[in-house]
Every structure is written in C-alpha cells, then in structure tokens.
Amino acid sequence: MKIPLHYQRTEYDCGPTSLLNAISFLFDVEDFPPDILRYLMIYTLDRHNENGEAHKNGTSKMAMSFIAYWLNDYAKATKFPIHAETLSGRDVYIYEDSPIIKALRQGGTAVVRVFLDCGHYVTLTGLSEEGIELFDPYYLNTSFPHADIRMIDNKPFSANRLVAFEHFNREDRIPYAFGPINDRTAVILL
C-alpha cells in the first residue's frame, strides 16, 4: 500500500524527508525496509550552523552522495530492488534526454537541491506537458508569484508542485531553480 508523502518536521530536515519521500513514492509501505529509514536519518542532517550547533544547517552534498553509495551497497547485500545515482554540477540540468528526465520517464524519482529561501531538497516524481511534478517537504499554503510554479493539492501520494522545465535550469537563487552550477546536486532513485 502506498502512503501520502510527508512534510518535514523541522526547519532543517528537507534532505532526509525528501529521501524518505522518494523511497515511499517507489515502494509500498510493507516493502519499505526499516534499515533504510534508520540509516537515512543517521547519515543526513550532518551540517553545523554558524554557531556550531549540530544538525541545524541541513544535509550536505557529501551526505547525499554517501546515501546513494550506501543504498547501492544495501541493495547488493540484501537484493532490495533499488539503484541510486548521484549527479552534481553541470550534470544536474533539465533537457530532453537528461539523466533526471530519463529517470522520471522510467518511473523513478530524483531528490534535487533547489533554492527556496536557501538551499533546499525536494523530490521530483513525474512529468507532464507543462513541467515536472515534485513534492516539496516544506509546508507552504500560499502560491508563488512565478507563473512557472503552480500548487498541486490533489496528489498527496506524489506531488504538491508543478514547475516548468526551463525554470529548474536557472542559475539565480529563485524558488525551485537549481541555482549556481557549483551548488547543484541530485540523487536519482530507480
């Protein structure tokens, strides 16, 4: 049985929440191994804020890469049917045959770093003619001033936003843009 995707519980846990949402999107609840839940929470939320407080600056790109590696190792050891791939920099780009678009066409998902008010992780879950559907774990009950971004309120198992394809590729720090090339990271899950 599929379950609705979740919103983050703090200002900092968009990374682990987006990863858990990606796996919940791919697998029924009875097939979701508790090991994955445990290790995602252990290996993420690894950044310290400017006051030196642990876990209060979200999840690093390094932690996202490590999680992809760990998931592949876990899949090999347990035969759990998941494959993870990490993208960074110029590889995190939306175009016709990009790795992200290919994954979404195959029924996979991608956890990508975008901008909201700061660096933020969301889960890409599907394609439409107008753009990419995603689930943003940060609960917002207001619409965006950008015509490229629309709220979705009737797909709790997969999406709460629809963002135009070309909007993601922008290098400025606006909502749901990938932003500067050096800041880009994504984890594809199939």
What's the pLDDT tens digit per position in 23-68? 999 999 999 999 999 999 999 999 988 888 888 889 999 999 999 9
| Percent of the chain's residues with pLDDT above 90 | 89
The pLDDT value given to residue 57:
85
Strands 109-115 and 119-128: antiparallel
Q: What's the mean pLDDT when you consider all of the chain?
A: 95
- Does pLDDT of 145 surpass 90? no
The pLDDT value given to residue 143:
81
What's the pLDDT tens digit per position in 115-139? 998 999 999 999 999 999 999 999 9
Confidence of residue 112 (pLDDT cuts 50, 70, 90): very high
The pLDDT value given to residue 91:
97
Cα 75 to Cα 83: distance, rounded to the nearest angstrom: 7
The pLDDT value given to residue 186:
98
- Does pLDDT of 141 surpass 90? no
Closest CA relative to residue 43, chosen from 67, 20, 18, 21:
67
Burial class (CB in 10 A: 0-12, 13-18, 19+), 22: buried
